[in-house]
Amino acid sequence: MEKKTENPGFTCDICGKTVKSKAGLAAHKRSHK
């Protein structure tokens, strides 16, 4: 299940994880700090 190109949503540029929403991405990025 590694279809990076067809993943809907936002991809974290730090770890490559795909998050479903922009708010979710913001919260996810905060976990890296």
Q: Domain residue spans in the chain? A: 9-33
Span 5-17, pLDDT tens digits: 555 789 999 999 9
Round to whole Å and give the CA distance between 6 and 8.
6
Comparing 3 with 8, the larger pLDDT belongs to 8
pLDDT band at 4 (very low <50, low <70, confident <90, very high): low
Share of the chain above pLDDT 70, in %: 79
Radius of gyration of the chain (CA): 9
Q: How far is CA 1 from CA 9, 18, 28, 29, 33, in A?
A: 16, 12, 21, 23, 28
- What's the average model confidence in pLDDT over 12-25? 93
Distance of CA 13 to the CA centre of its chain: 7
